[in-house]
Structure 1
């Protein structure tokens, strides 16, 4: 029983829909053989291209039809990718030249560029893609141009300029930023990398990009730049706080610490405030200031913060300022339970023993500190000299 043309058409459409292109090739081949209608020949060739089968046969049938129906642009559009599929690059470039004589449409310039790219004629391919991009400034066209400029024509700086211009006037995908980062890395352009991450962060507000921005500032050793950025951004006051402390900008850190406590109610910020009040004070022996510092540590401990860093700071303050040396020693011993080999905590303990007049115990602990750390820090030197004289 002969299958009707309508039924064959329906079969071909269904095979295409399910991407069964080898089956649709067979259907369209029969339809063309039965009817001679060009549309079926073109669909037959398209199916061959999509299935990557029967390529030579499709080329032969298209060429035969082309002799009878010369200068049909549809044939050029099919022959170029068919030739490229079987790596007949020379034939593809010949067809591309014919296509360019017939059409200046962006889609045809784009198609022709593939032949010249495969043929290693990179400048020619780039020139065609540039014309396409001028007419239709699509991102995918630009990225193909960038790859050619980066890998083949040695125009990396121009590629960066094109990408930067494109992203400033268009909404772009992550691919554009990824390519920019790649090019800036190859050019060792740290400022370019930084600005790209800033643009990504502005677009997506992703914490990952903020981390990368800070990493770049650290790599550049540009703490001031990082501070300026974070002061403007105001989304990571915790990082800004640490930078303030690192740079000994204690008054600025003090202006942040209450905000940080309000955000998460973490008692560590109360202890941090105690540290800042002391460090920011001009008179380190001011009794009212010392009372304020101690009250902050006690409040933090009462609220459950027993981090050894703050215990040591609190205990040392009690000892050094002779507020309550015995209690200070107890606090330091609690810190040493957490970190028994911490030389700074042992230094505080030795100083407590010294203040209590227990010179032998102070000497034994302090000698361990000096043997481990050496005499490089002024405070250790001061304690060591005093304890040796005491002994």
Structure 2
């Protein structure tokens, strides 16, 4: 901070701490010094003090600029409002039709909730001026008065000349809350968004309106625009959630293929839609990124699911080798243990080993019905029909007979018993 700034700060502090002395000396201070004090008080937002300074200056000089500054300080400090209104009205009687008076009287009246008087002044202002700033100012009176259509009409005229974001947000708030024009508000926001670089406030407002309209497509497109603009994963998550809500997995896949950033999500979506050949192209890339043995096991799953001939011996050997490699690298996820064990059992590669693998999976999830189904199928294959039946009955009692594989196993095991 420069010495001048330090001196000014000390001057202000001293002035505030010597109010009584200041009042006594006030009448002796020269016009030039009063002007300097007024500027300093304004700079430090000491509006009560600046009000007193400008009031004294106007009383001494009669210069209109000091009257207007006095009223502005009163407005900023929210004090002496009625006195400022009276002084402005007195001046206005001698100097009629001055825009500055209207521009000050409107917010002064609104500050003390004299809305009717504010609207009268607003009408006077509109008769004298079509400037955007005056239309904007006048609109506040009609808004306070509950004349939302009139306020919106004025703001729309301002927006046509000055298409500012802040103004648009005020308009759309009125349209949403008071004039029943929510869809028109959405159209205005969308048009503005497509023609300008906008802040997050516009997107947030759009999301709010789309949610009120229960317009999932609008929500989706807004989150897509946010993600494309910011590349923020929180928006990508919202995009995927919206696609899933719409049950449009292909749409989510197309978006992630166009904006590749989350190959892991894309991979899951490929699997969900049984696009196993596409998933196979991606799984090696995922493994190269993090060297997680999970992807080796996943490739084993994909090789089997993508095969047209599920009994192809070469394919089955390849699948088993991928599971064994993943296990060697430390992957003991029960999902893969179950898939591996069931393959050993169902394809009769090594049924006893398959049973052992499934039992290890059940240590992790002892009540998993799919794992119990696999174990029952293993016991069936070694002709231990009693164990197979007890396990399979538990599965059927829990899951019912909705899935083809459960029906097939249940019928076979009942005959075995």
Does TM-score exceed 0.5, indicating one fold? yes
Q: Which of 125-134 and 20-29 deviates more?
A: 20-29
* DSSP 3-state at the match of 2:113: coil
Matched, 1:120 2:133: no
Match of 1:147 in 2: 173
Match of 2:91 in 1: 65
Q: Which of 320-329 and 10-19 deviates more?
A: 10-19
Moved over 6 A (4+): none
Tell me the distance in 1 between the aligned counterparts of 2:186 and 2:410. Answer: 60
Matched, 1:306 2:332: yes
Deviations 1:293-330 (A, max 9, x none): 01111111112211100010001111111111222122
Deviation, structure 1 residue 163:
1.3
Match of 2:190 in 1: 164
Tell me the distance in 2 between the aligned counterparts of 1:382 and 1:129. Answer: 71
Tell me the distance in 2 between the aligned counterparts of 1:147 and 1:358. Answer: 72
Deviation, structure 1 residue 275:
0.3
Q: Which of 362-371 and 104-113 deviates more?
A: 362-371
Matched, 1:344 2:367: no
1:32-181 correspondence runs (5 A): 32-181=58-207
1:191-270 correspondence runs (5 A): 191-270=217-296
Return the TM-score normalized by structure 2. 0.90
Deviation, structure 1 residue 74:
0.9
Deviation, structure 1 residue 67:
1.4
Tell me the distance in 1 between the aligned counterparts of 2:180 and 2:390. Answer: 68
Deviation, structure 1 residue 390:
2.5
Which of 291, 312, 316 is the equivalent residue of 1:290? 316
Tell me the distance in 1 between the aligned counterparts of 2:57 and 2:290. Answer: 73
Tell me the distance in 1 between the aligned counterparts of 2:158 and 2:39. Answer: 32
Deviation, structure 1 residue 247:
1.6
Q: 1:374 to 1:127 in 2, by over 3 A?
A: closer
Matched, 1:382 2:408: yes
Return the TM-score normalized by structure 1. 0.95
Unpaired segments ≥5 residues, structure 1? none
Tell me the distance in 1 between the aligned counterparts of 2:165 and 2:100. Answer: 26
What is the Cα-based RMSD across aligned positions, in Å?
Answer: 1.6
Q: How many residues align?
A: 391
Tell me the distance in 2 between the aligned counterparts of 1:300 and 1:16. Answer: 73
Match of 1:327 in 2: 353
1:349-388 correspondence runs (5 A): 349-388=375-414
